[in-house]
Amino acid sequence: MARSSGNIEKAYTLAREQYAALGVDTDRALDRLGAISISLHCWQGDDVGGFESPGQQLGGGLAVTGNYPGKARNLGELRADLEKALELIPGRHRLNLHAIYADTGSKRVERHQLEPEHFQSWIDWAMEKKIKLDFNPTFFSHPKAADGFTLSHSDPGIRQFWIEHGIACRKIGAAMGRQLASPCIANIWIPDGLKDTPADRKGPRERLAASLDAIFKESFPAKHLLDAVESKLFGIGSESYVVGSHEFYLGYAVKNRKLLCLDLGHFHLTESIADKISAVLLWVDQLLLHVSRGVRWDSDHVVILSDEIRALAQELVRGEFLDRAHIGLDFFDASINRIAAWVIGSRATLKALLLALLEPAERLRKLEAEGDFTARLALFEELKTQPAGAVWNAYCLRQNVPIGPAWLEEVKSYEKKVLSKRERGAL
Ligand code: RNT
Ligand code: ZN
């Protein structure tokens, strides 16, 4: 049940006092949180299908499980679903598109021939909704990716096709950034790799480096386009060897001044991505974070307020990296309501950031510098039960979105009115 705004304000006033006693300014934390935009991934809305050709199979070793009814079947439905999700997430956020979501009308346009005009309807929609856009070339779900190789393929013709796709997508990204007056992050992820032990690990990596150089040849103003490269540990069908590994892209990004994309599902499960941030940001200017949740593997579960996400947010805040790290969601779950998946993942990420912004950063740093590790540990533990929920509710109230679980009622009523009318599979 929605609580009255008077009670929300009262609870906030008490929480503000409690935090002030610890040296934390909650109003400032909320201002800072309001300045953070998360890039919502369009592909949660239709299980990474895209609208290029009907019934297209998802490739690239990616897998979406579940068949919850009501998935978006066309651009109009996807936009309507996104609008609903955005209404329920506090703050101003971005949208992350993939090339397979082009608006080509009834025409089939091959990926290497895509142009900014095929994304003009997205740009116009984004302009109207005051949303900024990010972009991704799609190097999977295509006959020319069926061998499991794209930019590192041994066939120069196939490589060239994907190079041209990459070039086309950077032009599209730059058009988005220019028209919407906010740099578009164009992120490259390729599925290239091998199921079994390779005899030649070097060749594909040399070809990938050369293909990337060709894609990045043209330069665009940073105020329009920022290029990112995303590594992976393994995929289905690339268990033994991934061409674009972490070391490959870390080196490439440092040498070529690109953004490095760290996906939370793309490392060994015991590795801490949070710990990598302050190391990597010594050598690259900016990061893209793909916020995901691996369960036993890169399973792309919906993000929740886990210790991992909290640690990530803490590192961003403690290191003062918020303006050098771009946060995008990357998960796909078809076993639950897809709009709820966006809302849950976004709200969890924002809550993690709020918790990090509610730390007495200076005090903690001072205790550590003085060697008072006892007090540091004690304070960390006490912080866990401070009334952050009251601050979060006040934020939702100020941002005019439902408080607490009330957002779910809106998703349920949208499901009844809109999603349930979408027949499975049919248009
Ligand atoms: C795949 C990568 C990549 C994709 C999207 C759809 O493992 O995480 O970012 O999820 O491009
Ligand atoms: Zn990713």
How much distance in Å is there from the Cα of 161 to the middle of ligand 1? 20
Q: What is the pLDDT of residues 103-114, one digit of tens each?
A: 999 899 999 999
Q: What is the pLDDT of residues 106-142, one digit of tens each?
A: 899 999 999 999 999 999 999 999 999 999 999 999 9
Is the entire prediction scored with pTM above 0.95?
yes
Q: Which atom of ligand 1 is nearest to the CA of 298?
A: 7
Q: What is the pLDDT of residues 352-375, one digit of tens each?
A: 999 999 999 999 999 999 999 999
Decide whether any atom of ligand 1 lies within 6 Å of the 189 Cβ: yes
Rounded to an integer, the average pLDDT of 44-63 is: 93
How much distance in Å is there from the Cα of 27 to the middle of ligand 1? 36
Cβ atoms of residues 87 and 81 within 8 Å: no
pLDDT recorded at residue 4: 81
Rounded to an integer, the average pLDDT of 207-214 is: 99
pLDDT recorded at residue 182: 98
- Percentage above 90 pLDDT, the chain: 96
Chain center to CA of 310: 16
pLDDT exceeds 80 at position 200: yes
Ligand 1 pocket mutation, candidates 230, 262, 288, criterion most atoms within 8 A of CB: 230
Mean pLDDT of the chain: 97
Residue from 326, 331, 340 nearest 177 by CA: 326
pLDDT recorded at residue 395: 98
pLDDT band at residue 1 under the 50/70/90 scheme: very low
Among protein residues, the one whose CA lies closest to atom 11 of ligand 1: 189
What are the residue ranges spanned by the domains of the chain? 38-349
pLDDT band at residue 424 under the 50/70/90 scheme: low
CATH topology of domain 38-349: TIM Barrel (3.20.20)
293-295 and 297-301: which strand pairing?
antiparallel
pLDDT exceeds 80 at position 328: yes
Ligand nearest to the CA of 189: 1
Residues in the chain: 427
Decide whether any atom of ligand 1 lies within 6 Å of the 47 Cβ: no
Active site residues: 189, 230, 232, 263, 266, 290, 298, 300, 330
259-263 and 287-291: which strand pairing?
parallel
Cβ atoms of residues 314 and 353 within 8 Å: no
Decide whether any atom of ligand 1 lies within 6 Å of the 136 Cβ: yes
Q: What is the pLDDT of residues 383-393, one digit of tens each?
A: 999 999 999 99
pLDDT band at residue 179 under the 50/70/90 scheme: very high
pLDDT recorded at residue 115: 98
Decide whether any atom of ligand 1 lies within 6 Å of the 263 Cβ: yes
pLDDT exceeds 50 at position 426: no
Cβ atoms of residues 142 and 190 within 8 Å: no
Q: CA 67, 72, 78: angle at the middle one, nearest 5? A: 145
- Percentage above 70 pLDDT, the chain: 98
C-alpha separations of 78 from 6, 42, 73, 132, 351 in Å: 36, 8, 7, 16, 26
pLDDT exceeds 80 at position 417: yes
Q: What is the pLDDT of residues 247-273, one digit of tens each?
A: 999 999 999 999 999 999 999 999 999
Among protein residues, the one whose CA lies closest to atom 10 of ligand 1: 330
Q: Strands, E, within 231-314: which ranges?
A: 241-242, 259-263, 287-291, 293-295, 297-301
pLDDT recorded at residue 143: 97
Among protein residues, the one whose CA lies closest to atom 2 of ligand 1: 189
pLDDT exceeds 90 at position 55: no
Rounded CA gap, 226 and 233, in Å?
A: 24
